[in-house]
Amino acid sequence: MTGRDQIIAALSGVVTPGCILTDSGDMQRYLTDWRRQFHGKAACVVRPSSTGEVADILRCCAEMNVAVVPHGGNTGLAGGAIPDDSAGQVVISLERMNRIRALDATALLIEAEAGVILQTAQEAARAAGRKLPVSIASEGSATIGGIVATNAGGLNVLRYGMTRDLVLGLEVVLADGTIVNGMRKLRKNNAGQDWKQLFIGTEGSLGLVTAAVLRLVPKPRHRAVAMVSVESVDQAVSLLDMALTSVGETLTAFELLSASALAHVKRHFGKEAPIRQGNWFLLIEAASSLSGLDRAFEDLMTTAFEQALATDGVVAASEAQANALWALREHITEAESRAGYSMKHDVSLPLRSIASFIEEFGMALDAIDPHAAPNVFGHLGDGNLHVNVILSDTAKAQVIMQTVHDLVATRGGSISAEHGLGQYRLDEWMRLTPRAERELVGLLKRTLDPRAILNPGKAVPGNE
Amino acid sequence: MTGRDQIIAALSGVVTPGCILTDSGDMQRYLTDWRRQFHGKAACVVRPSSTGEVADILRCCAEMNVAVVPHGGNTGLAGGAIPDDSAGQVVISLERMNRIRALDATALLIEAEAGVILQTAQEAARAAGRKLPVSIASEGSATIGGIVATNAGGLNVLRYGMTRDLVLGLEVVLADGTIVNGMRKLRKNNAGQDWKQLFIGTEGSLGLVTAAVLRLVPKPRHRAVAMVSVESVDQAVSLLDMALTSVGETLTAFELLSASALAHVKRHFGKEAPIRQGNWFLLIEAASSLSGLDRAFEDLMTTAFEQALATDGVVAASEAQANALWALREHITEAESRAGYSMKHDVSLPLRSIASFIEEFGMALDAIDPHAAPNVFGHLGDGNLHVNVILSDTAKAQVIMQTVHDLVATRGGSISAEHGLGQYRLDEWMRLTPRAERELVGLLKRTLDPRAILNPGKAVPGNE
């Protein structure tokens, strides 16, 4: 292994000295994630300010066989941006590459460097009368490079898709320092192999994303928000079907919240749903350039009551009411963290198997640890559940995780709907993924990263 | 090279005899594309009826080092499904794998084998109250495998994206016969590397697509269609911007038609636009679950007239009128083919450079061949132009193509917006694509197809 001093000396030769952090205090914020679940050490942290500098760093590290760990806004939930504890890896923070290079409201696209904060890009889009439709809790810190590298999901996937669906162009630096410039400002390009797809969602394990061209969408001018309480997940699925038929493409969110998730919100923040409680709550949002959504939501609600699909419900009569309903959803994660140490599972399931999954999961958890409290919520419209568990006994964490994932795998689901594998779920992915798929993914990793220096141990299996 | 008899004998050992066509008459329809632009020969045509059979065929061909050419509905425009003229390649037609395996209206997905006709899948979705939003002229013959392998575009890309954006799961057979099953019925799955992307749009050059899970969308219940005449492309772009702000996400088509393209339609089909002529016509469509689009289109038109952006315009007052406006657009290709031999260029450009491109292209064409007639139309909302040329002198074809592509390349455009590279555009792609990109694409090809037996000479550069 190359020694720390040697690494720092070599890197000092290729980047300006101010780029390199070596002091342990200075490095600290790059070595632990925001939830303090993952901790690592690094030889140093490098903060390049241009694509050329990123290429120089990679070429230098490749020569020394030193691994690099790209680092964005540090808001990931799977430890993808945190180095291992060998103190032999180099963290590359893209934070200084923070320029919005271009924005075209008519062509509906924005061109931004990896370090641009998502919220900054959203605001630029909004100022131009358009919308960058990635909406995640961490948008004030998450970066463009980070959302591309993790293929971030969020609250609007039902309508606008994952980050992958927004990526029109990418600039990438390969393991050997080669810059591949695919920053085409085109909404449509079907010229052979779309190689940029490989670098989306792979957390820097195949190459480093230094800039992206992202698709914008028109800004809807009207929205409607409703909250409904239902007795069962089956009723929720029936309501989803009904909403797809009546308000269709205008749906932007169809969120499922368990009564217990909202009970935590009430306990810790004093916020409460303005409707009678069922076993489950639904938060439904639609948005359009056309008016008439409130009326459509009222009609939907009436039909739901007539067909005995809902216990109670309300359509927000003002923006303030709409925001108050959303605040219930947005406080779930924080309330959960105040309730105790929680494990997060981020699964997706075929829609029809969600009810059976939740039932079996409840029974299984009860058998493993009757004191553990499930906290289930998620994006029902996408089949994405956050199956979190507030633990009483951390010794049970591993068996609980495997149990959840086994229940998901037998139903053809995914153990990572939107958070990514990172370092947290890679072993589980290896355990549950069929061999042909593992080998294909491994083959591509070895091809693009023959020295295994690109964020090893994250997102995809390595050379071992 | 393995002899024809040897290939047929070996394949007869792994598939049922009725699967193999060897008679030149029987093979004919697999050896020429529908426009009769590309002609090939084959050792034989194999028509497997299961994924297992496809795997057996590939294993057998890999052992013999014999190349395979996957064949769908034979509606491609770039010769991707036609073998070379060596008579040493095996055509694999997926037409017998034509089962819709599942459709879930609430989960908004359809699971179909490669040989299912696109229109059959569209009708199944419609019967379930949903929509499969790929709309192409050849949908009555094109197959699911074909639209995935070519990443088909079409009339609704502005609203729903390319085929890639609809693919949720794929089943693929690799060069060595390994089956990789990624048929997950999930709308959201972010578990590491999304390997299925490699097989979308690569025309079987990295692996053969045998089945797909595709995303459906809610069926809009209202639509509005308008036709507007404008004097310049700049005015058209201004109108696009205005439409994005006023009817936004409801826009499903924003088509640009040159006056000369519609003149061909009038000459050959007697159909005429019901409005005063400008240099350009726009065909604008929007669709929504909500009503109010006609009114919004009338308002848009009023503003356009006030700002002197349009010469004349009409909003269809009935479905019959809407269909009549669309018929003008839909007859352009057929009218063009009646007008003479035409070359098709399928380019995309940054929106702001379209006007200058068209102007320079007109001057360049005039200099090369004053008798050649340009026929320009396309999906302006996507920046996609079909820059077709009705030739008087086919000797000029090559220089015209290179001229068009050079004008595109200098503007950062793509020489294949939606039709794919096939065999038709691969040399041009090689000529105009920067080295780093070419090498990355070539590296992936060699990795997944080390013997160069997967549709060689199509979509991506080979081993040579």
B36-91 confidence digits (pLDDT tens): 899 999 999 999 999 999 999 999 999 999 999 999 999 999 999 999 999 999 99
Contact predicate B206/A454, CB 8 Å: no
Spell out which residues of chain A touch residue B436, defining contact as CB-CB under 8 Å. 174, 178-181
DSSP B416: B
Chain A contact probe: residue of B148, B183, B193 with most A CBs at under 10 A: B193
DSSP B50: S
Strand partners, A217: A131
Spell out which residues of chain B touch residue A204, defining contact as CB-CB under 8 Å. none
- B130, B348, B433 ranked by CB distance to A186: nearest: B348
d(CA B237, CA B358): 14
Q: Can you tell me the mean pLDDT for B397-407?
A: 97
pLDDT value of residue A277: 85
Model confidence over B251-283: pLDDT tens digits? Answer: 999 999 999 999 999 999 999 999 998 999 999
pLDDT value of residue B316: 97
Spell out which residues of chain A touch residue B192, defining contact as CB-CB under 8 Å. 201-202, 416, 420-421, 426, 429, 441, 459-460
The first and second tokens of residue A154, run together, are: 């969020």
pLDDT value of residue A464: 47
pLDDT value of residue B464: 46
Q: Report CA torsion sign: B294, B285, A164, A344.
A: positive
- B192, B426, B460 ranked by CB distance to A421: nearest: B192
Q: Which residues of chain A have pLDDT under 50?
A: 464
Model confidence over A46-91: pLDDT tens digits? Answer: 999 999 999 999 999 999 999 999 999 999 999 999 999 999 999 9
Contact predicate B179/B51, CB 8 Å: yes
pLDDT value of residue A34: 87
CA distance to partner chain A, nearest, from residue B77 (Å)? 13
pLDDT value of residue A35: 85
What's the residue count for chain A?
A: 464
d(CA A110, CA A168): 9
pLDDT value of residue B277: 85
Model confidence over B310-331: pLDDT tens digits? Answer: 999 999 999 999 999 999 999 9
pLDDT value of residue B393: 83
- A89-101 as b/e: b if 16+ CB within 10 A: bbbbbbbbbbeee
d(CA B279, CA B437): 39
**Angle at the Cα of A274 from the Cα atoms of A272 and A279, rounded to 5 degrees:** 75
Lowest mean pLDDT among A96-100, B193-197, B236-240, B339-343: B339-343
- pLDDT exceeds cutoff 70 at B1: no
pLDDT value of residue B463: 55
- A292, A417, A444 ranked by CB distance to B193: nearest: A444
